[in-house]
Amino acid sequence: MIGEDPKINIDVGQLMTFFSRLSTPLQAVQHSVLSFDPWDIAGLKRKEVRNSAVLAWLLNPQGSHGFGAVPLYALLASIRTSENKAFPAAYTRFCRVRVESNPNGDSKNRVDIEIDADNFFVLIEVKIDAFEQQEQIERYCLEAEKRATKKLRWGVVFLTPQGRQPKSMSADNPHFISCLSWSDLATRFEEPMRADYRKTGVLHDSASMRQMAAHSAFCFLERMCKF
């Protein structure tokens, strides 16, 4: 009849076959997106200098990762001090994070990460495959103590795959050295970072950028657990 819509015959069998064939490429695309690791593309691998730079980025309260001081405060909660006194839980006015720094100007005494705040001073020595240099950690303790004369607290973090104690540690400074493993530090980071992301991720002005930055940060935590 005039005005009636033509009847459409759908072959249910062919339609089911089409969707069954479509599921495989869709799963492949979804998997490739979810497994994307920007640090693989950047070629971090087990290179200490590059991994130190990313860790410094994560610890920087002004870093583009979007977590503010959350990772830094997780680290501070793990640091030891003389006589087991509580280390500052936060900075009060400023905090600068430097990578590949020379605190005393001597290029032979290069430190992987330096955290200089108004109320504490921390040096981080990063190890993945490299050997510990002679008296390396003892030198860092002496340098940190000098730099922190007007500060309340100072500490040295020895970050290794096993969380082992340094060979170059004198009897005068064991309570200033925090020996952490990469996987232990990643675990300390993860819970507060995920809580922060659940709280602020969807409310952020640039939600897509926030998601990409958070994904990069969490990919790095997974990488830390494999060292």
Q: Are strands 95-101 and 177-181 parallel, antiparallel or unpaired?
A: unpaired
Angle between helical axes of 207-224 and 48-59 (0-180°, round to 10): 130
pLDDT of residue 195: 93
In what side-by-side order are the strands of the sheet with 95-101? 95-101, 111-117, 120-126, 153-160, 177-181
Instruction: With beta carbons less than 8 A apart as the criterion, state whether 198 and 48 touch.
Output: no
Residue 31: its pLDDT value, please?
Answer: 46
Q: Which residue has the higher pLDDT, 58 or 203?
A: 58
Higher pLDDT, 188 or 82: 188
Return d(Cα 76, Cα 73) in angstroms, integer.
Answer: 5
106's torsion region: left (phi>0), alpha (psi -120 to 50) or beta? beta
* pLDDT average, residue stretch 81-105: 80
> Could you give the angle at the alpha carbon of 159 between the alpha carbons of 199 and 70, nearest 5°?
15
**Structure confidence at residue 138 as a pLDDT band (50, 70, 90):** confident
Interacting residues of 216 by C-beta distance below 8 A, sequence separation 6+: 38, 39, 65
Q: What is the pLDDT of residue 82?
A: 60
Q: CA 173, 47, 68 angle in degrees (round to 5)?
A: 70
Residues 152, 75: contact at Cβ < 8 Å? no
- Determine phi and psi for 179, rounding to 5 degrees: -95, 115
Is the pLDDT reported for residue 94 higher than 80? yes
Q: Examine the pLDDT at 32 and tell me if it is beyond 50.
A: no
Euclidean distance between CA atoms 75 and 59, whole angstroms: 8
Q: Which of 37-41, 77-81, 167-171, 192-196 has the highest mean pLDDT?
A: 192-196
Considering only CA atoms, which of 139, 93, 137, 138 is closest in space to residue 116? 93
User: Sign (positive/negative) of CA torsion 115, 120, 121, 124?
Assistant: negative
DSSP letters for 176-192: GEEEEEHHHHHHHHHHH
Q: Give residue 151's Cα distance to chain centre.
A: 26
> Beta-strand (E) ranges in 27-161?
95-101, 111-117, 120-126, 153-160
As a whole number, mean pLDDT of residues 36-62 equals 93
